[in-house]
Amino acid sequence: PAPPVGGREPLGRGGGLRYAAARLPHPGQSWYATNGDIWTRFSLKEMADFHTERDAVATIALARPRIPWGAVQTDGFGHVTDFIESPPSTFEINAGVYVFSPEFAELLPERGDHERSTFPQLARELRLAGFPLPQGAYWRAIDTAKDLTEAAKELSALGR
């Protein structure tokens, strides 16, 4: 395995971002980060514009992933009225793509997870924005070898 960034002690995701932010070539500018286990395609410029328009310190891309199972609709009496194969979730999730303003770096923990500390703080202060991925944007979590194979097939079918 690769050694932890910055030394022997694991920094966690927040500490890793803080370490990386300290080494940005243009620390006075907004910057992007992504999770390493997603595959997506959408306009980062649109997301950056959204971030700027909301004067956010951090902006998270939001996705509505498809539920991997078929859903069942029922009426008020409990009769099954329809089956829907792999419907989109009713909840938005963190899609793993971010835009950060320069001041975000100083809010990150030196060690630990920014999603348990920095993001909740920014949300309480209304300085965290959520950018819904545009309709039709490709997004997929790659958690297993099967996910990677399916994503490759989907992208091949799209001619990408």
Is the per-residue pLDDT at 1 higher than 60? no
* Triad 37, 43, 46: Cα angle to 5°: 120
Residue range 73-117, pLDDT digits in tens:
999 999 999 999 888 888 999 999 999 999 999 998 777 778 888
CATH of 12-157, one of 3.30.470.20, 3.90.550.10, 3.40.710.10, 1.20.90.10: 3.90.550.10
Residue 64 in contact with residue 91, Cβ under 8 Å?
yes
Is 70 exceeded by the pLDDT of residue 3?
A: no
Q: Structure pTM?
A: 0.81
H/E element, 41: strand 38-41
Share of the chain above pLDDT 90, in %: 57
For residue 31, give the 3-state DSSP assignment: strand
